[in-house]
Chains A and B, each alone.
Chain A
Amino acid sequence: MPERIKHAPLDKDKVKQPMGEIHLIKDQCKGCGYCIEFCPKKVLEESDEINARGVHPPRVAHEDDCIMCGFCTAVCPDFAIFVVEKPQSVGKMEVKGGKHD
């Protein structure tokens, strides 16, 4: 449907979206960058710090965007990242988006 969407959804404040709290075990990271590369919401980025293994571990840049898909945990070869669900989770959806935007 080709109409331009101009108004925010009425149920914007009621829609529940999972929110994740990301935990990093920095010294366990070997800096492969898989989590940064594969995160569908681009929540992570490379940090400047150097960990015990002498590499740059990731940093949580946009934690609000995390929707807890858990893929970072799944792809991490060193079990250095995991996500815990946060309780509050309403009204953070982006109005833009969807097929015709």
Chain B
Amino acid sequence: MAEKKAVESKSKDDLRIGVYVCHCGLNIAGSVDVAEVAKFAAKLAGVVLAQDNRYMCSDQGQAGIKNDIKEHRLNRVVVASCSPRLHEPTFRKACEEAGLNKYLFEMANIREHCSWVHLYDRKAATEKAKDLVKMAVAKAALLEPAAEVEVPITRQTLVIGGGVAGIQAALDLADTGYKVFLVEKEPSIGGMMARIDKTFPTMDCSICILAPKMSDAAHHPNIELLTNAEVSGVKGYIGNFHVKVLKKPRYVAEDCSACGECAKVCPVVAPNEFDVGLATRHGIYTPFAQAVPSTYIIDMNLCLNKNGVIVCDKCMKACERQVINFEMKPETVELEVGTVIVATGADVFDPSGLPHYGYGKYANVITSLEFERLINAGGPSGGHLLRPSDKQMPKSVAFVQCVGSRSDRNGKLYCSNVCCMNTIKDSLLIKEHWPETEIYVFYVDIRASGKGFEDLYKRARKVGAKFIRGLPAEIVEDRKTHNLWLIGENTLQKERYEVNVEMAILSIGLEARKDSEVIQRLLTLSRNQDGFFLEAHPKLRPVDAATGGVFFAGCAEGPKDIKDSVTQASAAAARAGILMAQGKVTVEAIMPITFPEKCKACGLCVKVCPYNAIILDEDKKRVEIIEAACGGCGTCSAECAFGALTQKHFTDDQINAQIDAVTEEEPEKKIVAFCCNWCSYAAADFAGVSRMQYPPNVRIIRTMCSGRVSPRMVERAFARGAGAVMVAGCHLGDCHYINANYQTQKRVERLWKKMEASGLSKDRLQLLWASAAEGERVASKVYEMKPILEKVSREEIEKAKKVFEKSLGEG
């Protein structure tokens, strides 16, 4: 402690901190007295300048900082404004331009974490803002300049998913001159678009416009196609990903001429998944005529030849080129890429869970995807509209909208974006070929907001499709004719309808891939409450993942139509291209620094490091950090009991200074919260953006990972009399740093045990898992902790102080 004090007092003498409090128009000034906060900041130790400004992020605001750095010789800058997740880079840049190392800048989040969440309590919000500024100044006083490491970027990209988005992204990057690996799980690229008959609003034949792109992708010298393959492992970081791809065997070599003689003799038959089971395929097959690659494939679940025993050799005998080989084994391909584009697409909603629509029970209730195959000239019926029960053409059809969408009871809450236009397109297609067919569309709202969409809607109504507002409550089948009765309420005319049709088409929504979790874990991504991948910023970085070097294209990020998917794919390609064109990336200087003289070579830090970035040198009794491999979570620093490791820019001293600032006045009324940058801090930001109101007694300290929070920090907060402490991180399994938050859990559990053993209520230490989209969880946790804080007695605070002071003294 003595040593630390010396450092502090030395630096305090020549500290020149500038504090800027932003009004953000009325966003902050509306519920925080910014002038008072600035006045308060001016009195803090080391502060030589404090002012308030209407918009700090404006050019004029930034120019002020630059000017003051020169004029007032500022050597630390604190801006109290919005979330550092939004504008830290802006202000860091301003500091750098004025010649101040960017690691000497600190931010106080008085918008998302204060003014927006305490809209109606100006006094409390102002007090909280003062605290937040005080914490930032306390940390700023201890900031150290740091140099960033430059890492070269491998100029190759991995595109996961070979639908139209993946193909577009791959082609754009390949045309720019970068090598692309396009990985597709299915035997052919093409994705959902290949299965659709026509596209809206132009009524282009879907496969006709897609097939040339598929072929381009297959023949592009810069694209390597890996079909029937799945990404099985990803290691590394932005610019340097080591990817493992498991290539499953096709049992047919690539020089297959796709003559199809083998399929003719194959004795086993099964429903073709590509046609949603409406057509058959053989054990050796190609999913559809335009498949790329056109190479046939053997479905080993169906083939008679199992475990290397060749029972049936009919295909081999029929194959002129002798390309069938049952000896093929799965192989793992290892790739080195600099960027990754996730274009994994979406699944369709399964309506068999909605018994009132009778899908799966009544033959003539089909899904819109099955309809696409039915009306497709290349599909099972050769493009003749027919209904499954008698294979006759239906004279009347009904479309039921929002199946699985916009309902929390019957599917998903969100609007699936494409189904309205898809139905309008389908009804026009039917009317075009068979004008006599009666068409009913049962809808909630028709959403035709794209370019040319309203025209198409008007055309559909003009040709006689009847749009009825109000979904059927029930579909009932006439057992003799297999016709269907749709019964419900017309909500515009407030009357009951009973409509008899020969076929009903359920317009099913899109949902996140059921196996999204795999990619999520491999690339440490986040997903929103609907299950789709979460972008880094919903407005300004819509195709970037929070993980550096990873981008999204297509439905993986949310339901969208073909045009939007293609647009986003090109955007993702451009974003990845920008990185690769620069050729190098700077890694934030947040890796650990070691103090070898304190190291006992116990190896605990090596064990908890999720990146294997620490090597223990047993002879020299010290550890070595591989900076390029370090992810920057800081869990090693939290694990070290000897203070031999600490994370740059999030040092023990800096975090302790923040804790001390919070607990200086009325600590018993406050919650000291530790939130990780990626999930829980972002969740608190989201609560702010959504204006969720919660009690103003919480003070959030940002760490990169909850794994950075050492037990000694929690103990310190209690020892200084904090009313309660909250540790918040990403959900287990969703950690941005692979698995560092499991350490958080362990540490908190240990603390709970200790509290219980010392006769303290463990309620005062709360653990919260919240994803970036779960602002609600943060807000309700703070609500939940309010009574705990009110209940805690003077004696309990004193007791905790004693217990933890003692244990800190021992440590």
**A is bound by B:** yes
Q: What is A's interface to B at a CB cutoff of 8 Å? A: 1-12, 15, 17-18, 38, 40-41, 67-71, 93-95, 97-100
A67 to B283, CA, bound (A): 13
A97 to B268, CA, bound (A): 10
Is B457 an interface residue when CB atoms closer than 8 A count as contact? Answer: no
Q: Which single residue of chain B is at the shortest CB-CB distance from A18? A: B267
A38 to B309, CA, bound (A): 9
Q: Are A100 and B269 in contact (CB under 8 A)?
A: no
Q: Which single residue of chain A is at the shortest CB-CB distance from B508? A: A3
Q: Which single residue of chain B is at the shortest CB-CB distance from A68? A: B267
B763 to chain A, nearest CB (A): 44
A10 to B276, CA, bound (A): 11
Chosen A-B contacts, 6 in total, with CB atoms closer than 8 Å, are A2-B347, A3-B369, A9-B280, A10-B279, A12-B280, A17-B269
A95 to B363, CA, bound (A): 14
Q: Are B311 and A11 in contact (CB under 8 A)?
A: no
0/1 per residue, B241-255, Cβ < 8 Å to A?
A: 000000000000000
Is B493 an interface residue when CB atoms closer than 8 A count as contact? Answer: no
Chain A residues contacting B279 (CB-CB under 8 Å) are: 9-11
B557 to chain A, nearest CB (A): 19
Q: Which single residue of chain B is at the shortest CB-CB distance from A4? A: B350
B336 to chain A, nearest CB (A): 31
Contacts A40-B312, A67-B304 supplied; 12 other A-B pairs, CB < 8 Å: A6-B359, A7-B388, A8-B388, A9-B277, A9-B280, A10-B381, A10-B388, A12-B280, A17-B269, A18-B267, A95-B277, A97-B301
A83 to chain B, nearest CB (A): 12
Q: Are A97 and B381 in contact (CB under 8 A)?
A: no
A93 to B388, CA, bound (A): 17
Q: Of B276, B312, B380, B388, which one neighbours A3 at CB under 8 angstroms?
A: B276
Chain A residues contacting B366 (CB-CB under 8 Å) are: 7
Chain B residues contacting A10 (CB-CB under 8 Å) are: 278-279, 380-381, 386, 388, 391
Q: Are A67 and B369 in contact (CB under 8 A)?
A: no
Chain B residues contacting A41 (CB-CB under 8 Å) are: 304
A29 to chain B, nearest CB (A): 20
Q: Of B268, B269, B380, B514, which one neighbours A2 at CB under 8 angstroms?
A: B514
Chain A residues contacting B275 (CB-CB under 8 Å) are: 9
A99 to B270, CA, bound (A): 9
Q: Are A99 and B311 in contact (CB under 8 A)?
A: no
Q: Are A40 and B306 in contact (CB under 8 A)?
A: yes
A100 to B271, CA, bound (A): 10
Instruction: Knowing A69-B311, A99-B299 are in contact, say whether A3-B273 is a contact too (CB < 8 A).
Output: yes
Chain B residues contacting A3 (CB-CB under 8 Å) are: 273, 276, 347-348, 350, 367, 369
Contact-residue bracket for chain B? 35 or more
Q: What is B's interface to A at a CB cutoff of 8 Å? A: 186, 267-281, 299, 301-302, 304-306, 309, 311-312, 314, 347-348, 350, 352, 359-360, 363, 366-367, 369-370, 380-381, 386, 388, 391, 513-514
Chain B residues contacting A4 (CB-CB under 8 Å) are: 350, 352
Q: Of A1, A7, A18, A94, which one neighbours B370 at CB under 8 angstroms?
A: A7
Q: Are B306 and A98 in contact (CB under 8 A)?
A: no
Q: Are B359 and A95 in contact (CB under 8 A)?
A: no
Most buried by B among A6, A38, A68: A6
B480 to chain A, nearest CB (A): 20
Q: Are A5 and B271 in contact (CB under 8 A)?
A: yes
Q: Are A98 and B274 in contact (CB under 8 A)?
A: no
Q: Are A71 and B312 in contact (CB under 8 A)?
A: yes
Chain A residues contacting B274 (CB-CB under 8 Å) are: 1
Q: Are B280 and A15 in contact (CB under 8 A)?
A: yes
Most buried by A among B276, B360, B366, B514: B276
Chain A residues contacting B302 (CB-CB under 8 Å) are: 97-99
A57 to B757, CA, bound (A): 74
A10 to B279, CA, bound (A): 6
Q: Which single residue of chain A is at the shortest CB-CB distance from B366? A: A7
A68 to B313, CA, bound (A): 12
Chain B residues contacting A99 (CB-CB under 8 Å) are: 273, 299, 301-302
Q: Which single residue of chain A is at the shortest CB-CB distance from B269? A: A93
A101 to B275, CA, bound (A): 15
Q: Are B271 and A9 in contact (CB under 8 A)?
A: yes
Q: Of B268, B386, B391, which one neighbours A67 at CB under 8 angstroms?
A: B268
Chain A residues contacting B350 (CB-CB under 8 Å) are: 3-4
Instruction: Knowing A2-B347, A3-B350, A6-B352 are in contact, say whether A95-B271 is a contact too (CB < 8 A).
Output: yes
Chain B residues contacting A97 (CB-CB under 8 Å) are: 270-271, 301-302
A50 to B378, CA, bound (A): 56
Chain A residues contacting B272 (CB-CB under 8 Å) are: 9, 98
Q: Are A5 and B277 in contact (CB under 8 A)?
A: yes
Chain A residues contacting B280 (CB-CB under 8 Å) are: 9, 11-12, 15, 93
Q: Which single residue of chain B is at the shortest CB-CB distance from A2? A: B347
A71 to B313, CA, bound (A): 10
A3 to B388, CA, bound (A): 18
Q: Of A5, A7, A67, A68, which one neighbours B273 at CB under 8 angstroms?
A: A5
Q: Are B268 and A9 in contact (CB under 8 A)?
A: no
Instruction: Knowing A10-B380, A38-B309 are in contact, say whether A98-B299 is a contact too (CB < 8 A).
Output: yes
A17 to B270, CA, bound (A): 11
A56 to chain B, nearest CB (A): 23
A6 to B380, CA, bound (A): 15
A67 to B267, CA, bound (A): 6
A54 to B361, CA, bound (A): 53
